Amino acid sequence: MIVTVTLNPALDVTYRVGELVPHGTHRVSAVGLRPGGKGLNVAGVLHALGEPVLATGLLGGAAGARVTALLADDAVPAAFLPIAGETRRTVTVADDVDATGFWEPGPPVTHAEWAAFVAHFRGLLGDADVVALCGSLPPGVPVDAYASLVRLAAAGGVPSVLDTSGEALRHGLAAGPDLVKPNAAELSALLTPAGAGCREVDAAAHALTCGARAVVVSRGPDGLLALTRDEAWRGVPPERLTGNPTGAGDACVAALARGLRDRTPWPELLADAVALSAAAVAAPLAGAVDPETYRRLLPAVRVHAA
Amino acid sequence: MIVTVTLNPALDVTYRVGELVPHGTHRVSAVGLRPGGKGLNVAGVLHALGEPVLATGLLGGAAGARVTALLADDAVPAAFLPIAGETRRTVTVADDVDATGFWEPGPPVTHAEWAAFVAHFRGLLGDADVVALCGSLPPGVPVDAYASLVRLAAAGGVPSVLDTSGEALRHGLAAGPDLVKPNAAELSALLTPAGAGCREVDAAAHALTCGARAVVVSRGPDGLLALTRDEAWRGVPPERLTGNPTGAGDACVAALARGLRDRTPWPELLADAVALSAAAVAAPLAGAVDPETYRRLLPAVRVHAA
């Protein structure tokens, strides 16, 4: 199975209002609740594809209990470590124009809780084919947390996909993850200030020198770039899709984790990741993909050596 | 003791952000949680004044449990009826300029839950000197809910103060509450469309003809107007205070409930209500009053026959 790790998940709350007026008061007409966090979206996509998956990470408090219940409603297998802090909420106010987001800070995690999670994660590796390590780190978790998990997985013979940013990405790279999936902005940030605006391929090459075995850069509607020490590929979607781009990167990680498990060759893997990302744009919610779009686009994705 | 009733309480959540940008994403730097709802604010003010008080109403779910815990932290006596629905949250986004509010709808209340609350309320009347009935009604509670509670209280010899608006106020008036405290806009709305913009004293007189024994109209920084069948009084604060006007009306209700209990004569009662309202403006949070402001203003409030 594929194990997805979400250390800073959220209860995603959506408020529907007519029009957002700064410094006004709004009656919310509808409240939506969803499990939130990159790794949970990856698990949701894999589960929808019929792939064996287990979601793990840290959950606490009433919001954490609600996330657990929502995952159970969706029948997504999960084994989260309980923590004393309260899982954060992300509130999205959706008006007739667009969405406005408010992200609570993550809950504090104690040293003992982090140590317990590492032991929990080690216990899950026996059944894992691949681990996907996704998203930000809550306060209290060491900045090199992903490096520790990548090394534990590697010691157990389990390849890892890392999708994070900033310091968590920088430290994680040093442990040699099998695949990292930054977007272009996250990659440039690794090289800042000098790297701001540098070519993606140069930034990706830098990630390789930092330790990653392969880099897949998401380029939004322009598709994906894959770089290893020996190969370079570009995958381009056959058409521009309009919709909700929020979960596209997570659908991409789902495809990459599955491909890593199956040792899928790069051209085929990249085509799958491009089509699944596009199918996520066509679905209304993050963590879901539109099956019809996926089936239609998969044979039409153009992949070429870069 | 004074019993305050809050049928549609809330968990008040405050998000601190730098600047609210519509359709942007905001990292919340601090999350504040408070018990919310007019009746809870009235109870908080009375408790701070050292008056025996009991807060009751309907609470449910994780947000309801959090409200209960926050009331216990503040040592405010409370006896809420548990309901299956989840108590609403009100999210206030505070930036460097002002506050933007998002109010969730209240939870659905079943017929059985409402019947259970009526029995619970009847049980509390034996120890009650006054009841204060405050705020909006959640879905499922009958629109004449306050009329039922006013009649039950009267049958038990307990006077009532009613602070609500719209249909809940219109129906409540018919039961003859001892005191109603609308603001000028709520009062005009009772008479709309013809009454829009009518003189406050005329609108207050209308409330008397609808059944109220006395009406106190809050006029913001201009103070209070009291009207009974025989008397009319105005109370004016000695100075204009800047601060947070959110809880001023609730502090006014706290003063009126205490005065009703003590049969305080109108001039003295109105002075107390004006000073306590101003002391709430001077306090940073709704449900609190600034004791120094209260002490300073009380002897300086001007009350005259209107």
- Yes or no, beta carbons of B102 and A26 under 8 Å apart: yes
Q: Is the confidence at residue B158, as pLDDT, over 70?
A: yes
The domain limits of chain A are 2-8+37-81+105-305
pLDDT (0 to 100) of residue B201: 81
Q: Which of B63, B66, B102 sits opposite A17 (nearest CB)?
A: B102
For domain A2-8+37-81+105-305, give its CATH number from 3.40.50.720, 1.10.1840.10, 3.40.1190.20, 3.40.50.300: 3.40.1190.20
Q: Is the confidence at residue B195, as pLDDT, over 60?
A: no
pLDDT (0 to 100) of residue B197: 64
- Give the confidence band of B194 by pLDDT, cuts at 50, 70, 90: low
Spatial neighbors of A115 by CB under 8 A, at least 6 apart, are none
pLDDT (0 to 100) of residue A217: 92
Residues of B whose CB is below 8 A from A23: 20, 97-100
| Spatial contact of B12 and B34, defined as CB atoms under 8 Å apart | yes
B107-143 pLDDT, tens digit each = 999 999 999 999 999 999 999 999 999 999 999 999 9
Residues of B whose CB is below 8 A from A63: 62
Q: Is B99 on the interface with A (CB under 8 A)?
A: yes
A2-61 pLDDT, tens digit each = 999 999 999 999 999 999 999 999 999 999 999 999 999 999 999 999 999 999 999 999
Closest CA to B251 of B226, B276, B268, B275: B276
Report ipTM for this prediction: 0.84
B29-43 pLDDT, tens digit each = 999 999 999 999 999
Nearest Cα of chain A lies from the Cα of B10 at a distance, in angstroms, of 13
| Spatial contact of B36 and B10, defined as CB atoms under 8 Å apart | yes
Q: Is the confidence at residue B237, as pLDDT, over 70?
A: yes
pLDDT (0 to 100) of residue A82: 98
- Yes or no, beta carbons of A102 and B24 under 8 Å apart: no
The bridge status of strand A232-236 relative to strand A224-228 is: antiparallel
Q: Which of B22, B29, B66 sits opposite A100 (nearest CB)?
A: B22
Name the average pLDDT for chain B.
93
Q: Can you count the helices (H) and strands (E) in chain B?
A: 10, 15
Q: Which residue has the tokens 């050596």?
A: A305
Q: Which of B17, B23, B102 sits opposite A99 (nearest CB)?
A: B23
Q: Is B166 on the interface with A (CB under 8 A)?
A: no
Among A71-75, A166-170, B20-24, B186-190, the least confident range: B186-190
Q: What is the pTM of this model?
A: 0.88
Q: Is A8 on the interface with B (CB under 8 A)?
A: no
Q: Which residues sit opposite B130 in a β-bridge? A: B2
> What's the rounded mean pLDDT across residues B197-213?
82
pLDDT (0 to 100) of residue A206: 83
Q: Find how far residue B175's CA is from the centre of its chain.
A: 19
Spatial neighbors of B220 by CB under 8 A, at least 6 apart, are B183, B184, B245, B248
In the numeric block, which tokens belong to residue B280? 């709430």
Residues of A whose CB is below 8 A from B101: 24-26
pLDDT (0 to 100) of residue B202: 81
Q: Which of A26, A29, A100 sits opposite B24 (nearest CB)?
A: A100
Name the average pLDDT for chain A.
93
> What's the rounded mean pLDDT across residues B153-178?
96
pLDDT (0 to 100) of residue A194: 59
Best of A102, A103, A136, A165 to disrupt the B interface (most B CBs within 10 Å) is A102
Nearest Cα of chain B lies from the Cα of A67 at a distance, in angstroms, of 13
Among the residues of A74-138, which ranges form H helices? 111-124
pLDDT (0 to 100) of residue A294: 96
Q: Does the annotation count A250 as an active-site position? A: yes
- Yes or no, beta carbons of B25 and A100 under 8 Å apart: yes
pLDDT (0 to 100) of residue A204: 84
pLDDT (0 to 100) of residue A192: 66
The top-scoring range by mean pLDDT among A216-225, A287-296, B53-62, B191-200 is B53-62
Q: Which residue has the tokens 């003010």?
A: B45
DSSP state, residue A104? P
For B:52-81, CB contacts with A below 8 A are 62-63, 65-66
Low-confidence ranges of chain A (pLDDT < 50): none
Which residue out of B163, B250, B272, B290 is catalytically annotated? B250
Largest CA distance in chain A: 57
Q: Is B103 on the interface with A (CB under 8 A)?
A: yes
Minimal-distance CA residue of chain A relative to B106: A28
Residues of B whose CB is below 8 A from A68: none
- Yes or no, beta carbons of A27 and B103 under 8 Å apart: yes
| Spatial contact of B23 and A19, defined as CB atoms under 8 Å apart | no
CATH topology assigned to domain B2-9+37-87+106-305: UDP-N-acetylmuramoyl-L-alanine:D-glutamate ligase (3.40.1190)
pLDDT (0 to 100) of residue B241: 83
Residues of A whose CB is below 8 A from B29: 105
Q: Which of A23, A25, A105 sits opposite B28 (nearest CB)?
A: A105
